[in-house]
């Protein structure tokens, strides 16, 4: 079996896109932990629900950007590839 340069480039981009999508695992775990701690904090002090929820949602939005950057990189590697012939 002979792999030409275009096949090798396409294989590298596919592997890179797969690795970029793995970046979504970290934000998922982090958001789950944040939601758990937020629910625990509201359970301990129900009067602070608004402050806890707004802070938690802001933190989750910031954490989600990492996953979105990974998705954007994967989509660029797969579809907007300047080296593809």
**What pLDDT score does 6 carry?**
80
Class for domain 24-79, per CATH? mainly alpha
**Per-residue three-class SS string for 32-60:** HHHHHHHHHHHHHCHHHHHHHHHHHHHHH
**Model-level pTM?**
0.72
Per-residue pLDDT band for 85 (boundaries 50, 70, 90) equals low
Per-domain residue ranges for the chain?
24-79
């Amino acid at each position: 079996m002979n792999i030409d340069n275009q096949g090798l480039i396409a294989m590298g981009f596919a592997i890179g896109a797969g690795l970029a999508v793995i970046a979504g695992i970290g934000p998922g775990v982090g958001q789950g932990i944040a939601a758990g701690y937020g629910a625990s904090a509201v359970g301990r002090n129900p009067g602070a629900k608004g402050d806890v929820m707004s802070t938690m949602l802001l933190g989750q939005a910031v954490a989600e950007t990492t996953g979105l950057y990974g998705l954007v990189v994967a989509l660029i590697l797969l579809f907007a590839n300047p080296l593809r012939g």
